Amino acid sequence: MRLSLSLLLAMAALSTGASATNLYPSQVLANTQALNGQKISVIGVVSFLKAGLTPDGAPYQSFKLCDANACIQVYTRDKSTYTEGKQLTAEGYFWAVRHVGSTPHFNELVLDSN
């Protein structure tokens, strides 16, 4: 696996507890195993925004965060207002595969709830 210099610097910042360098979705998807379970900061454009309720009635939002080459799925239960087509920097935990019940979710950034 070949890691870019910017990703190596970001990972070094994460391991030392320093604030994370913003990554783009295409960088994240090129390094899913190295970033799996890590708290990361991703910059991109909000697309496919939707809101819903979990089976227990809790509100959530999901959307794709995209750059020119790729998108990652984002999930949050926070009460922030997101806007379709707006650039956003999102910080949360990245999961290459995350199971919710028996349903797998792939390449998902789960944002911290307030």
Which residues contact residue 63 at a Cβ distance below 8 angstroms, ignoring those fewer than 6 apart? Answer: 46, 47, 48, 49, 50, 73, 74, 82, 84
- Domain assignment of residue 73, given as a range: 5-111
pLDDT for 12: 47
Q: Give the single-character DSSP code of 1.
A: -
Q: CATH no. for residue 22? A: 2.40.50.140
**Res 14: pLDDT:** 47
The pLDDT value recorded for residue 3 is 52
Report the SS3 class of residue 56: coil
Q: Which is nearest to 65 in space by CA: 83, 89, 44, 85?
A: 44
Per-residue confidence band for 4, with pLDDT thresholds at 50, 70 and 90? low
3-class DSSP state of 42: strand
Q: What's residue 31's pLDDT?
A: 95
Provide the domain count of the chain.
Answer: 1
Q: pLDDT (tens digit, 9 = 90+) per residue, 58-73?
A: 899 999 999 999 999 9
Higher pLDDT, 18 or 77: 77
> What pLDDT, on a 0 to 100 scale, did the predictor assign at position 102?
86
